[in-house]
Amino acid sequence: MVFVNVGGTVKCFDYEGKELWSHSWTPFGRHHARAHEPILHDGKVILMHAPRYDLPVSATTKEGSKSLGRGREYWTHLRAFDMKSGKPAWRAEAGTSVHSTSILGKLPGGSSAILTGRGGGHKPPEEPYGLSLVDVANGKSLWDRAIGGYPAAQNATWSGERAHFFAGGEHHSLAVGTGKPIDSVSVTEGASITRWKEKAYETVENGKLTKAKKPITYFTNVVVGNYHYFRSFGGFFIGRVNLKSGKVEYLQVPVQVIRKAGGEEEVLWEKSLPNDMKNAKGHRATRDKRNEGSGWGHVSSAPPVVVGDLIYFPTMVGMVYVLKWKAPRLDADALVSLGDLGPAGKTWSLSGLACANGRLYARTLKELICLGRDED
């Protein structure tokens, strides 16, 4: 088992809890592994790592790192460690920014690679901003693609012969083999938009969605089949891009559903309840008022998960939207359930859902939750 934290430590344990090895480094500024989970592949663990070991603790802060500049020596890279020994195996040639979630996949020829990105908020030093495909065997770049203004706070998704990303109000596709652009489509104009109108859903074709500061709520994108799903940044819409036709669709969903024993459900479409942000012991676990928000927009959200024919979108306030990802149209018929992980206003989570043996597992500030059928 491997555990890693944003403070610059990775530790490996056996299943009895005995520590096998550990490795520590000093993160640089705000630019550390905030949204990056370790990748296990071929007996190695791959994670984000700053190359310097001699930095003062002050360098982990915004102000403390400012005087050091933006030189390559401070870049964060993907780095692989041997699982058994803990010895470093390779460091990627390309830099990886704090906001990028790198994705492991297979090339058409069968070899494995990782798509990783640079860019995002807080002016990360790794440049040029854009995407790189990294050979997982040795860390060398198969290609590097500069993308102006690339918003790295998304999952670096790729499948088959194409990589896909959102930037500047558009959805873009690249050739996995070369990194060259293939096509792009607006995600705000010419879309099929299904909105809630007082008592029922209504669909408008060739509609226009108000352009937001960013194209998606951070890290909510996933490619499944011929679709690239995501949650909108502004408003409360689940969206998808048809990767074959380029058609863009949106379905408005409630931001929250209030459920009380013996009472009628109250559906909120415009604003969620303030969250208590308390853990199981009643301790308020944050001082940041932004954590009281809806879980849409400027938030490092948990990604969606796909299980069989269903896609699950969890949010920070405990809502879980369940949809049929293969649905021919992204409208009311695609929506299976408006679930929740606990009472509205008292449930908070940035953890993703996990699936094993026909059950879903979730974690909130207060509980660990197992979801399954009654007969299970």
To the nearest 10°, report the CA torsion of 287, 293, 298, 301.
Answer: 90
Closest to 320 in 3D by CA, of 335, 334, 333: 335
Closest to 107 in 3D by CA, of 148, 142, 78: 142
Closest to 306 in 3D by CA, of 227, 188, 376: 227
Please state, in angstroms and rounded to a whole number, the distance separating the CA atoms of residues 139 and 39: 13
The average pLDDT across 190-203 equals 97
> pLDDT tens digits for 286-334?
888 878 899 999 999 999 999 999 999 999 999 999 999 999 999 999 9
Please state, in angstroms and rounded to a whole number, the distance separating the CA atoms of residues 95 and 119: 10
pLDDT at 241: 99
Residue 73: in which H helix or E strand, if any?
none
- Among 47-51, 191-195, 305-309, 364-368, the minimum mean pLDDT is found in 47-51
Please state, in angstroms and rounded to a whole number, the distance separating the CA atoms of residues 104 and 45: 12
Judge whether 78 and 51 are in contact, CB under 8 Å.
no
pLDDT of 9 > 60? The answer is yes
CATH topology of domain 2-180: Lipocalin (2.40.128)
Please state, in angstroms and rounded to a whole number, the distance separating the CA atoms of residues 280 and 321: 24
> pLDDT tens digits for 134-162?
999 999 999 999 999 999 999 999 999 99
How confident is residue 31, by pLDDT bands cut at 50, 70 and 90?
low
pLDDT of 279 > 70? The answer is yes
The average pLDDT across 248-268 equals 96
In whole angstroms, what separates CA 337 from the centre of its chain? Answer: 22
pLDDT at 246: 98
pLDDT at 79: 96
Neighbour-count burial of 348, counting CB atoms closer than 10 A to its CB (0-12 exposed, 13-18 middle, 19+ buried): buried
CATH of segment(s) 187-376: 2.40.128.630
> pLDDT tens digits for 332-360?
999 999 999 999 999 999 999 999 999 99
The average pLDDT across 113-118 equals 97
Higher pLDDT, 62 or 374: 62
Q: Which residue has the tokens 């996990």?
A: 354
pLDDT at 57: 86
How confident is residue 33, by pLDDT bands cut at 50, 70 and 90?
low
pLDDT of 196 > 80? The answer is yes
Please state, in angstroms and rounded to a whole number, the distance separating the CA atoms of residues 201 and 331: 8
pLDDT at 35: 66
Please tell me if the domain spanning 2-180 has the same topology as the one spanning 187-376.
yes
pLDDT of 34 > 70? The answer is no
Q: What is the average pLDDT value for the chain, to the nearest integer?
A: 94
The average pLDDT across 273-296 equals 91
The residues spanned by each domain of the chain are 2-180, 187-376
